Amino acid sequence: MNKTMRLYGLRGAVCAENSMESITDAVCSMCSILFIRNNIAPSDIVSVNFTITADLTALNPAAALRRGTCSIDVSQCALFCSQEPVVDNMLPGTIRVLVTAYMEEGAELHHVYIHGAEKLRPDFAGERT
């Protein structure tokens, strides 16, 4: 039976300290949970787009994902990073992600907000692996 696939956007955020190790651990943890919860394979991914707050300067999250250990092989995935716009009262030390991927039509989406980023989207923060 053929499954109908469509393009979805999966969101996530995580807080980290300004060190290569903290950024790598945070990004790989967030992305691994996101990929596992949503049953995402490398071939499903169109792109992974990160934003990072200006106070995190130790490592680009795209580089962190490539260097770290993730639940899937992201070596052939399109990764991109940009700086988060600076706004009053923004949450410091935050890395956000938007994963554009093909999933079965009607799939239940599981967004991931962890390690302090739960306050950004408390409606999604209650989901656990």
**Which of 70, 44, 36, 64 minimizes the C-alpha distance to 52?**
64
Give the per-residue pLDDT at 97.
98
Each residue's pLDDT expressed in tens, for the chain with a length of 129 residues? 568 999 999 999 999 999 999 999 999 999 999 999 999 999 999 999 999 999 999 999 999 999 999 999 999 999 999 999 999 999 999 999 999 999 999 999 999 999 999 888 877 765 544
**Which of 45, 52, 42 minimizes the C-alpha distance to 10?**
45
User: pTM value?
Assistant: 0.92
